[in-house]
Structure 1
Amino acid sequence: MKDVLLLNQDGNPLTLWPLSTITWQQAIKALYLDKVTVLRSYDDWICHSQHLALAVPSVVMMAHYHYQKGTVNFTRRNIFLRDRFHCQYCERHFSADHLTIDHVIPKSRGG
Structure 2
Amino acid sequence: MGRKVLVLNQDYSALSICSVPKAFLLVYLDKAELVAESELLKLRTISAEFPMPTVIRLHRYVNLPYKGVMLTRQNIFKRDDHRCQYCGTSDELTLDHVLPKSRGGKTSWDNLATACKRCNSRKGDYTPEEANLKLRQKPYKPTFLVFLRDFSGSIEESWLPFLARKEKAFQ
Q: Please indicate the TM-score interval, normalised by the length of the shorter structure.
A: 0.5 to 0.7
Pairing of 1:1-111 with structure 2 (within 5 A): 1-14=2-15, 20-70=16-66, 71-88=68-85, 90-92=86-88, 94=90, 100-103=93-96
**Structure 1 match to 2:168:** none
What CA distance in whole angstroms lies between the structure 1 residues aligned with 2:81 and 2:21?
Answer: 28
What CA distance in whole angstroms lies between the structure 2 residues aligned with 1:77 and 1:84?
Answer: 10
The answer for unaligned runs of 5 or more in structure 1 is 15-19, 106-111
- Greater percentage in helix: 2
- TM-score, normalised to structure 1, is 0.67
Residue by residue over 1:30-60, the C-alpha shift from the partner in whole angstroms, topping out at 9 and shown as x without a partner, is 1122221101111111111123210101111
What CA distance in whole angstroms lies between the structure 1 residues aligned with 2:57 and 2:25?
Answer: 13
Q: May I ask how many residue pairs the two structures share in their alignment?
A: 99
Residue by residue over 1:56-104, the C-alpha shift from the partner in whole angstroms, topping out at 9 and shown as x without a partner, is 011111111122242432334322233344424x25275xxx5744345
What CA distance in whole angstroms lies between the structure 2 residues aligned with 1:92 and 1:23?
Answer: 32
The answer for unaligned runs of 5 or more in structure 2 is 101-171
Question: 1:9/1:103 Cα in 2 relative to 1: closer, same or farther (>3 Å)?
Answer: same
What CA distance in whole angstroms lies between the structure 2 residues aligned with 1:37 and 1:99?
Answer: 44
Q: RMSD value over aligned CA atoms?
A: 3.0
Note if contact 2:12-2:57 (Cα within 8 Å) is conserved in structure 1.
yes
Structure with higher Rg: it is 2
User: More relative contact order in 1 or in 2 (CA 8 Å, sep 6+)?
Assistant: 1
Aligned residues with identical type, % of pairs: 27
What CA distance in whole angstroms lies between the structure 1 residues aligned with 2:65 and 2:22?
Answer: 22
